[in-house]
Structure 1
Amino acid sequence: MLIDTTLREGAQLFGAYFSMEARERIVSGLLSIGVDEIELGWVGQEGLDELVRAIGKRRGRTALSVWSPCREADIRKAAGLEVDRINIGVPVSDLHIRNRLRIDREGLLERLARTVLAARLLGMDYVSVGLEDLSRADPDFALRVAGLAQDVGAARVRLSDSLGLLTPVKTAQTVATFKKALTIDLAVHCHDDFGMATGNAVTALAGGADFADASLLGIGERSGIAATEELAAYLTLKEESHAYKVENLRDLCHFVSQAAGVPIPRTKAIAGKDIFACESGLHAHALSKSPELFEPFDPSRIGADRMVAVGGKSGRAAVAHALARRGLELPEQRLTVLVDEVRKLAWELERPLTEVELTKLVEN
């Protein structure tokens, strides 16, 4: 199941500032996709209470949550919000415990127990504890923290690879270890510093994790985290284990791109404009016969269009098919000449030809 944290992790992206209107539109889009949980922001964030009220009963089956540091004062603030879950962050590496919190391991355990108990006493039924910087922590101590969280009433433990250091293999091993030790829900939060976030998240879910964090376009601190659109599409179209409404993903990604000031590469998985574009002669010819030969799924499933163009890499079959789509057919000799002209012009322009440019070549 997916926890979308575009409005918490994503909002921490350098230079990203979401207006209230943008935040409401992102939530509406996520609700239409059917993500399982939306992390709306962090305790103390400006406008958070207003956003929660604006969503109201529109949430349907989607759970709403907020993030909080491991402090009782912040827990009390969170209790005043009409959300379903609270995600408490607690660092488990000695580097963070010592240099950031200025306490020792025993002090951390005491603080965690006190904070989770306070949350439960304040009526929060679903408390999630995020183990931050897990990949640099002492594994035995991290397990001890997770076990304590479970013992004092947490409903979920979230494993955070805060610096994106894990590989899929290591992720699978880590999930298996914690899954064996716990009876409560298990989630992962995978950063993308080495480009493995989505792969690690998929691996974690396949290995028994109940939830995976993600954000639209994968935006977040530094290189960001696993991408919502990639996970939702994979789980729906490839694994067929979920039924997210993936036809709405691309429009929402493009809105987030504009709102956050993050351009979408034209080859970006799921969201890019050219992911179903083809110029190569062999592939273009094959697509004309059987699209599934070189496409992982029908473009229409995600609201995309197939685009086949001729250019410097096109052969006779591809050019002939392009003409056939226009109801045209040329003799072999003229077709050979046209192929040469298509390649020549494409190399001069350094791109495939447009429909108008191809038509002009044919007319000439």
Structure 2
Amino acid sequence: MKKRITFLDTTLRDGEQAPGNAMTPDQKLELALMLEEAGVDTIETGFPASSHADFLATQMISAKLQTASFATFSRAQVKDVQIAIEAGGVSDRHLVMLVATGSDLHLKNKRNITREQGLAEIREAVTYAKQQGLTNIAVGIEDASRAEYDYMEAMTRVSIEAGANQIILADTTGYATPSSFGSLIQFIRSIVGPDIKVSTHCHNDLGLGVANALEGILAGADEIQATLGGIGERAGNTSLEQVAAILYYKGDDYGLTTSIRLDKLYTTYLMLQECIELEESRMQPLFGKYVFSTAAGIHQQGMLNDPDTYEYVKPVTLGRERQLLVTRHSGRTIIRHLLKEQGVLFTDDEINHLYEKFINKSSFCDDLTTFTQKLKDELELQKAEVGAI
């Protein structure tokens, strides 16, 4: 039996923190409902103690979600937990996530507190959350990938003893590599046992956000925290759609499965793009403008014979369509294909003429309807000239 990996989407919180990514509560609600439809297990609504907008978004989203759970972000402070409860209430669907300081670097240079003070914060905040009736409490260890193992163990044990049922390991600065992050997951799993949920939260500063998250679940994590399109601070977060697609295509190899509906993610991403005016990428995996397009003649010939020759990831899986484009790298195959589709008869000499006129010196064309009409018009002109002679 395959192990089901859950996804917590943090687009509306961690993703929004990056410059230019601000969203209104109404926009967050619309995106949350689309993420729910796409099969996301838990949707992080924001940091209620940080702003009225996040407080309101939490109220709105928690009231409308039907199948997904929701999460709120808080510091390991009682006052933050109080505000999170005011915004989202007390229920089994509300995951309160408390961020704790993991590395000595952060303890000294950011927080100016000792390890003992950090542990006391965790104990007090988790105990309070438990006393209020919350059943889902996570402690997220910030900068876990640069923390010492002995302190990580102490933080984990204090969290569980106080009532937490989930530990989140954050590679906050994109410091980790797959091997080091996998070892960290294995270490924490050995401490918490099988009944405590372990989550990954990886950043993409070295381009390893997806690889580290994947290694994390292979090492024993139960959940991936990610953002749509990989948006987020600096170079962004683990890309939700990329990890979900890997598990879709490689799930049998890994013995893993998810509830994510890949065909629903692209339309959600388009909505996100509109909300935050996100620039369109040409080659972003899965969502880039041309990732399911081909222009090179050799590739087009192979794909017209059998799409599997150059297409492992299927566009239909993402709710997208395959495109054949015309550039100077295209060949005669695309001309023959377009004319055959229109039922137009032609000779090899005519194809050579069309190639020299429209492709050999061409730069780029993505409007095949117009391009096909040009081919047909040129053929008719040629035939008329021959008839006149």
Tell me the residue number matched to 2:226. Answer: 214
Tell me the residue number matched to 2:72. Answer: 66
Question: 1:310–1:319: 8 Å Cα contact kept in structure 2?
Answer: no
Tell me the residue number matched to 1:292. Answer: 308
Equivalent-residue separation in structure 2 for 1:19 and 1:247 (angstroms): 26
1:353 is displaced (CA, Å) by: 6.7
- Quote the RMSD (CA, aligned, Å): 1.9
Q: Which amino acid aligns with 1:293?
A: T
1:362 is displaced (CA, Å) by: 4.3
Tell me the residue number matched to 1:176. Answer: 186
Tell me the residue number matched to 1:281. Answer: 297
Equivalent-residue separation in structure 1 for 2:144 and 2:258 (angstroms): 28
Equivalent-residue separation in structure 2 for 1:280 and 1:310 (angstroms): 8
Structure 1 gaps of 5+ residues are none
Equivalent-residue separation in structure 1 for 2:83 and 2:284 (angstroms): 39
User: Relative to 1, partners in 2 of residues 1:243 and 1:329: Cα closer, same or farther, differing over 3 Å?
Assistant: farther
User: Relative to 1, partners in 2 of residues 1:338 and 1:131: Cα closer, same or farther, differing over 3 Å?
Assistant: same
Equivalent-residue separation in structure 2 for 1:85 and 1:117 (angstroms): 15
Tell me the residue number matched to 2:354. Answer: 338
Question: 1:68–1:89: 8 Å Cα contact kept in structure 2?
Answer: yes
Q: Percent identity?
A: 25
Higher Cα radius of gyration = 2
Question: 1:172–1:204: 8 Å Cα contact kept in structure 2?
Answer: yes
Q: Which range moves more in the overlay, 33-42 or 45-54? A: 45-54
Question: 1:85–1:127: 8 Å Cα contact kept in structure 2?
Answer: yes
SS of residue matched to 1:61: coil
Tell me the residue number matched to 2:30. Answer: 25
1:319 is displaced (CA, Å) by: 2.6
Q: How many residues get paired?
A: 362
1:301 is displaced (CA, Å) by: 2.1
Tell me the residue number matched to 1:310. Answer: 326
Offset from partner CA, 1:1-21 (integer Å, 9 cap, x none): 110011110111112221122
Equivalent-residue separation in structure 1 for 2:214 and 2:286 (angstroms): 16
SS of residue matched to 1:340: helix
Tell me the residue number matched to 1:230. Answer: 242
SS of residue matched to 2:360: helix
Equivalent-residue separation in structure 2 for 1:239 and 1:118 (angstroms): 39
Question: Quick one: which of 18, 22, 43 aligns to 1:13?
Answer: 18
1:205 aligns with 2:217: yes
User: Relative to 1, partners in 2 of residues 1:89 and 1:127: Cα closer, same or farther, differing over 3 Å?
Assistant: same
Q: TM-score, normalised by structure 1?
A: 0.93
Structure 2 gaps of 5+ residues are 1-5, 379-389
1:155 is displaced (CA, Å) by: 0.5
Tell me the residue number matched to 1:123. Answer: 133
Question: 1:198–1:227: 8 Å Cα contact kept in structure 2?
Answer: yes
1:269 aligns with 2:285: yes
Question: Quick one: which of 77, 83, 90 aligns to 2:83?
Answer: 77
1:351 is displaced (CA, Å) by: 5.0
Q: Which range moves more in the overlay, 317-326 or 49-58? A: 49-58
Tell me the residue number matched to 1:255. Answer: 271
1:40 aligns with 2:45: yes
1:41 is displaced (CA, Å) by: 0.4
1:58 is displaced (CA, Å) by: 4.1
